Structure 1
Amino acid sequence: MLLDSASMYFRAFYGVPESITAPDGTPINAVRGFTDMVARLVAEHRPARLVACLDLDWRPAFRVNALPTYKAHRVPGEPETAPPGVPEEVPDLLAPQVPILLEVLAAAGIATGGAVGYEADDVIGTLAARERTHPVLAVSGDRDLMQIVSDGEPPVRLLYVGRGLAKAELLGPAEVAEKYGVPRARAGAAYAEMAMLRGDPSDGLPGVPGVGAKTAATIVGRFETWTELVAAVGDPSDTRMSPNVRSKLAKAVDYLAVVEPVVRVAQDAEVVLDRDDALPVEPADGARLLELVERWGIASSVERLLQALQTAAKSL
């Protein structure tokens, strides 16, 4: 199980009342909510291995160099236009809680992983691509991770929590294909290509003017690769693309030439884990965990987490 940590703790912050505080009055709603989410996920899915994946760079240079508009509107000091739950300017009441929840993970013995110069999506994509033994379940509220789903060996699935854990959707190639009208045989790759054409304002991705989601899905469904699709823009003899669509894409040819590495989730990041990713049976640092429980008043959440970890580990 690969957790998109930032995606989860933002949702915990906005989903749990700020009135949930520590004994000293410090808000710990994100800590409580995040810990409860991890406990529930472990209890329900019982993974053999678990990694909380981190954003070590939320706006990587290689993506900005390719497309300067990438997340430009989220740069601190600039107007915030991203949807609720995903701003990169961490709210004042959330920022101090992130180190606390990371300490809880460390004391509990749950591995965290990151890669310098990459986003959590890339960490998840890389670890999923590396896996050779266990089925992979990524957990995120980020639609970009729909592109990693696979029916390969082992299979990769996304538990999409964009509407909260209670309304989570388990997505594989069949579900992504049905949801977006892309070919099932290459649903993940096709979803990424559809996103390139459609665009995504929350990421500063302009897309191709005049091409919406349905048209984008139809276009990518006629080609086997992105390279093949882009080549067809300059080939009037290729009947898989109508003159009207070709005209729209031709006007955006400079964008089409650079957008692929911006949207594709990396599978070759140099991911570093802080510890072995086996599901812990016992806390890595029980004394430190007790200190955190007492200082922040999170006994019930930590108890649920430990119970879930122990039950899951014993069932393996």
Structure 2
Amino acid sequence: MSDATEDRLLLAVDAPSLLHRNHHARHESGLLDAGGRPAWALHGMLRQILEAIDQFAPDAVLFGLDDRRTSVRETAYPAYKAGRAEKHPALVDQLERAAALLDALGMLTVTPDGLEADDVNASAATWAERHGWRCVLITSDRDAFAHISERTEVLRLITGGIAGSPLLNPARLYALYGIAAEHYLEYAALRGDASDNLPGVPGIGEKTAPVLLSQMGSMRAVWADIDHCAGATLVATIDSYCEENGLRRIGSTLLARLTAPGARERFEFNLSMMSGRTDLDLGLTPDVPGSPGLLPLDPDRVSRVVGHLGVPETTRLALRVLTEPPASVGLPH
């Protein structure tokens, strides 16, 4: 591992995201642990994290988990995530056992009161920035894109696993969405998020929102223009963009949608619901040898805990990846 602070890397993992994906991908395997309990999602999550650790050679690994008892977002908005299918009992069982498995392994888990793994990711990116570390967030959730920076990248898990998933930095995010990383949260609030049952601002979607933000700079500037000069600058700026690109003028239409009853309130509400907490105490103590989450881990613990899942090949991989000091590597680009 590197001694230089600027070369140290924190891997922050959205554990529920990985568990959900692996439950659906591996359910047919019917894998049971040594105690006869469902283990396919736990094994799939751990396998992917081992592959990621092998690839990135982090100095510390942090797992964020959802508080499954209470939710501040659901309290504020009872319809939050309404419409999602009821979780399979075997998935619920593995979600509830994940923290115990990871803690027993010697990893660091954080389950914030009333909050979600998304909030842990947000705080991990902030912690890395403050301490001069680099950070990779591993998740399938697009909300993490809001935390992309020169120090933080997002490995967005898609079909194909770790090796087949894109590693997004500011340039790659812009190439995909036409949005600067610092504006992604505003873009998402305009667009809405069907998976969380958060409707967007009517009439402003994935094509219009990037144009609005790229031309106006931020939604703060948009609202200020509407308040101070009835949106005249917005209309002129958007119409000028349309003319330069051979498009039909949409300035007045866009202004009408933004000033429609409830539009600003919808944007502000979405922004509040989507914003991750950046001030959580993660319990990271990288200067204290043997602290949870620091690599390498104890071989006996790794052999016992991973061995309980009943997949010898994964146990061998875990012993190699988790207990042997990795060679110093650069973050892939």
- Alignment TM class, shorter chain as reference: 0.7 to 0.9
Match of 2:196 among 199, 203, 227: 203
Q: TM-score, length-normalised on structure 1?
A: 0.82
Distance of 2:298 and 2:201 partners within structure 1: 52
Matched, 1:159 2:155: yes
Match of 1:11 among 21, 36, 43: 21
Greater relative CO (CA pairs within 8 A, separation 6+): 1
Match of 2:231 among 216, 236, 242: 236
User: Partner residue of 1:85?
Assistant: none
The one-letter amino acid paired with 1:139 is I
Q: How does 1:212-291 map to 2 (within 5 A)?
A: 212-234=205-227, 235-239=230-234, 240=237, 242-251=251-260, 252-272=263-283, 275-283=291-299, 286=301, 290=304
User: Residue 56 of structure 1: CA displacement?
Assistant: 1.9
User: Partner residue of 1:83?
Assistant: none
User: Residue 23 of structure 1: CA displacement?
Assistant: 5.5
Deviations 1:250-305 (A, max 9, x none): 1213212322211222212344569533223315x73x9627734x4244323322
Range with bigger deviation, 135-144 or 239-248: 239-248
Which consecutive residues of structure 1, in runs of 5 or more, have no partner in the other structure?
A: 75-79, 81-88
Distance of 1:244 and 1:162 partners within structure 2: 36
Q: Is the contact made by 1:21 and 1:29 (CA closer than 8 Å) also made in structure 2?
A: yes
SS state at 1:174 partner: helix
Deviations 1:148-204 (A, max 9, x none): 0001xxx1000010333342100011011010012xxxx223121111111111111
Q: Is the contact made by 1:198 and 1:213 (CA closer than 8 Å) also made in structure 2?
A: yes
Query: Aligned residues: percent identity?
Result: 25
Which consecutive residues of structure 2, in runs of 5 or more, have no partner in the other structure?
A: 1-10, 239-250, 286-290, 329-333
User: Partner residue of 1:53?
Assistant: 64
Distance of 2:14 and 2:114 partners within structure 1: 16
Distance of 2:98 and 2:117 partners within structure 1: 16
Q: What's the Cα RMSD here?
A: 2.6
Structure 1 residues 299 and 216, CA, compared in 2 at 3 Å: closer, same or farther? same
Structure 1 residues 21 and 247, CA, compared in 2 at 3 Å: closer, same or farther? same
Q: Which has the larger radius of gyration?
A: 2
Q: How does 1:122-201 map to 2 (within 5 A)?
A: 122-131=119-128, 132-151=131-150, 155-163=151-159, 164-182=161-179, 187-201=180-194
Q: Is the contact made by 1:109 and 1:280 (CA closer than 8 Å) also made in structure 2?
A: no
How many positions carry a matched residue from both structures?
291
Deviations 1:203-225 (A, max 9, x none): 11100122220101111112333
Distance of 2:254 and 2:69 partners within structure 1: 33
Match of 2:318 among 288, 293, 305: 305
Matched, 1:43 2:54: yes
